[in-house]
């Protein structure tokens, strides 16, 4: 198929998408009258218009146009427990009916939840917030207070929140503290070491696997090297585990044998409700100990809300236990291996760790990708892939991000492998190296 006919194939797929989803189209048009571009969360925008979901059940989402999808997006890792887990429903209903919301006071439950989070993720102390972005902002504040320094080393392709993005290799235009970042190259230890040695650096913040940046895993040598270089320079090492904490019973730090000074969390940890958490060394977290005259405030109206402290606790204690986390990661590893098998010998590959992965269709066809900036994606093929997967009833991010929901039937994962194999067969010559 020539480039011309490939563009035709995308146009035809768009046409079928538009015809199949008239209600979503109308809802999008209506939304543009009150939300810029009809959107309040940029990542969900998709052309010609996004599909609107009416509901979710277990591992599925059901669109306003009446189509049922297998949810392979998993709310960007946050919907680990699916959309209607009975134990979470029970825990949340119990809060609504018998405990009450917004009690405006300390509760036993926040201690129970904090104790569980500390023990699972090897933290001496933890504090809660309402999003991963917030958790990272507070962790950076803690590092600055502790060291008395202000600069922070981050990595190209990294993402730590709505005002903490580095995808283009520099702080995004709407980043906080734009002048204070030293951006190094991901998976490049020499670059990291040089950045860490910069005068006035308080902390280095890194994802063990860059999630939003394309599911590129840090090598063990790189991550351990960053930890060591930071330690030697008196710079705090912050591991962003917002996504990766679900990859083992103790998160990626445990998998890779890392001992960060601080770790940050969010997404699935709240049992499906809004959450952020940050914690680690007690001496650093003491910055927020209100009994000390030197302390600073860490505030947030909903930090200890009864809904999230119950749902998150139920999830950790009963559903995503340590053994379940280890088992589930193997499910993801097996799926990614199969996806790479059916796409082998082509320009398509799947990167990631455990149940978090991303499809790439690169121009050069390499399968060993260390960082996003090393490859150029074939945007036309990526778009075609997305439209065709949507048509086959798989809900995934337009940029190719995939994360798994617990208890997604193995048959659905196999069906996805089949759909990918069919796509590869149909466009084999366009995908060839």
Closest CB to ligand PMP among 348 and 402? 402
CB of 167 to ligand PMP, least distance (A): 12
Q: Which of 325, 351, 430 is nearest to 385 (CA)?
A: 430
Closest CB to ligand PMP among 177 and 391? 177
Report which residue's Cβ sits closest to ligand PMP: 132
Q: Which of 124, 148, 77 is nearest to 262 (CA)?
A: 124
Q: In this structure, are strands 125-129 and 276-280 parallel, antiparallel, or unpaired?
A: antiparallel
CA distance 166 to 158: 5
DSSP secondary structure, 56-125, as one string: EETTEEEETTS-EEEE-SGGGGTTTT-S--HHHHHHHHHIIIII-S---S--HHHHHHHHHHHHHHT-SE
Task: Let me know: does 68 contact 393? Beta carbons within 8 Å.
Answer: yes
The CA-atom distances, in angstroms, between 179 and each of 97, 151, 157, 162, 236 are 48, 8, 18, 17, 19
CB of 231 to ligand PMP, least distance (A): 22
What phi, psi does 130 have (nearest 5°)?
-115, -5
Taking residue 300's Cβ as centre, other Cβ atoms within 10 Å add up to 16
CB of 161 to ligand PMP, least distance (A): 4
CB of 278 to ligand PMP, least distance (A): 11
Which residues contribute to the site for ligand PMP (CB under 6 A)?
Answer: 76, 131-133, 136, 159-162, 207, 211-212, 240, 242-243, 266
Closest CB to ligand PMP among 211 and 352? 211
CA distance 401 to 161: 17
Coil/strand/helix, residue 365: coil
CA distance 74 to 412: 14
CB of 258 to ligand PMP, least distance (A): 15
CB of 186 to ligand PMP, least distance (A): 13
CA distance 286 to 110: 18
Closest CB to ligand PMP among 168 and 418? 168
**Per-residue tokens: 9:** 């194939």
Closest CB to ligand PMP among 41 and 291? 41
The gap between the terminal CA atoms of the chain, to the nearest Å, is 14
CA distance 159 to 318: 30
Closest CB to ligand PMP among 229 and 243? 243
Closest CB to ligand PMP among 110 and 207? 207
Burial of residue 251, with CB atoms counted within 10 A of its CB: 0-12 exposed, 13-18 middle, 19 or more buried = buried
CB of 76 to ligand PMP, least distance (A): 5
Closest CB to ligand PMP among 395 and 423? 395
CB of 93 to ligand PMP, least distance (A): 24
CA distance 238 to 204: 6
CB of 356 to ligand PMP, least distance (A): 9
CA distance 151 to 136: 14
CB of 164 to ligand PMP, least distance (A): 7
Closest CB to ligand PMP among 381 and 397? 397
Nearest 5 degrees, angle CA 326-CA 332-CA 112? 40
Closest CB to ligand PMP among 211 and 271? 211
CB of 8 to ligand PMP, least distance (A): 35
Closest CB to ligand PMP among 97 and 299? 299
DSSP state of 128: E
């Amino acid at each position: 198929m020539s480039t011309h006919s490939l563009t035709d194939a995308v146009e035809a797929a768009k046409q079928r998408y538009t015809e199949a989803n008239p209600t979503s189209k109308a809802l999008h048009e209506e939304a543009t009258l009150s939300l810029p571009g009809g959107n309040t969360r940029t990542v969900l925008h998709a052309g010609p218009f996004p599909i609107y979901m009416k509901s979710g059940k277990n591992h599925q989402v059901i669109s306003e146009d009446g189509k049922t999808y297998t949810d392979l997006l998993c709310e960007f890792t946050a919907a680990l427990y699916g959309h209607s887990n009975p134990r979470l429903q029970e825990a949340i209903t119990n809060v609504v009916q018998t405990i009450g919301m917004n009690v405006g006071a300390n509760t036993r439950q926040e201690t129970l939840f904090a104790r569980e989070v500390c023990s699972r993720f090897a933290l001496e102390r933890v504090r809660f917030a309402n999003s991963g972005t917030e958790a990272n902002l507070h962790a950076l504040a803690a590092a600055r207070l502790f060291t008395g320094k202000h600069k922070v080393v981050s990595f190209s392709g990294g993402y730590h929140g709505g005002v903490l993005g580095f995808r283009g290799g520099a702080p995004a235009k709407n980043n906080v503290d734009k002048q204070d970042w030293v951006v190094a190259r991901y998976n490049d230890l020499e670059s990291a070491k040089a950045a860490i040695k910069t005068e006035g650096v308080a902390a280095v913040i890194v994802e063990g696997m860059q999630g939003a940046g394309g599911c590129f895993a840090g090598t063990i040598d790189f991550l351990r090297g960053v930890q060591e270089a930071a330690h030697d320079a008196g710079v705090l090492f912050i591991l962003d585990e917002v996504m990766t904490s679900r990859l083992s019973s103790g998160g990626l730090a445990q998998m890779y044998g890392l001992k960060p000074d601080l770790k940050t969390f969010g997404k699935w940890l709240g049992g499906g409700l809004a959450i952020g958490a940050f914690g680690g060394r007690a001496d650093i977290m003491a910055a927020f100990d209100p009994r000390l005259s030197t302390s600073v405030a860490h505030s947030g109206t909903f930090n200890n809300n009864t809904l999230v402290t119950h749902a998150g606790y139920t999830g950790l204690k009963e559903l995503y236990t340590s053994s379940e986390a280890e088992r589930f990661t193997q499910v993801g590893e097996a799926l990614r291996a199969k996806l790479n098998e059916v796409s082998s010998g082509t320009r398509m590959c799947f990167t990631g760790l455990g149940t978090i992965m991303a499809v790439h269709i690169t121009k050069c066809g390499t399968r060993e990708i260390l960082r996003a900036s090393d490859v150029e994606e074939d945007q036309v093929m990526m778009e075609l892939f997305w439209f065709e997967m949507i048509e086959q009833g798989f809900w995934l991010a337009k940029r190719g991000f995939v994360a798994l929901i617990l208890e997604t039937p193995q048959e659905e994962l196999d069906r996805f492998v089949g759909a990918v194999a069919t796509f590869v067969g149909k466009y084999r010559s366009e995908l060839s190296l």
